[in-house]
Amino acid sequence: MDDQITPLLERIDAREQEIGTAAEQLRVHIDELTTRLRELDEEIGNLAVTRKTLLALPPTTPEPTDPPSALPAHPAYQQILTVLADATGPMRARDLCDRLDLPVTPKNIESTRHKLKRMVNVGVLAEPEPGLFTQRRPWRPSAVSPARYKRSITGIGA
């Protein structure tokens, strides 16, 4: 019987070694995964603390902005800003002439377009598409004291 059992025992030993090697590889892999899981849990905790800290900060309010110093003193520029502040979207020079109660003539349209382009160049307005103009940021003349506004435009021509 020994002759019949020996090959079986050898096969059992070989299989036992295979299983033992596979089990050891799985243990190493489990250790690696456990370490990685611990790192991810720590990162999640750090993110939660960061979120909690950010939510606990007092809200910030943007600093009031002065009108750009390069804005010409001519009243037409302030009128344009007022019309654009009330507009629901970008406007064309022709539409502004109409809203400013100017005759819609080529001369007035070109004059208004020139003012709009100047305001784009100094950063007061944006031109999202050619010929369409809108405010770059909200600004109303009434939000700035006349003395501060006058100081900001001193020496600038129309």
For 132-153, the pLDDT digits (tens) are 999 876 544 444 434 444 434 4
Average pLDDT over residues 98-114: 92
Q: What is the pTM of this model?
A: 0.45
What is the per-residue pLDDT across 22-79, written as a single tens digit (0 to 9) for each? Answer: 999 999 999 999 999 999 999 999 999 999 888 888 877 655 455 555 677 788 888 9
Q: How far from 5 is each of 9, 13, 16, 123, CA to CA, in Å?
A: 6, 12, 16, 94
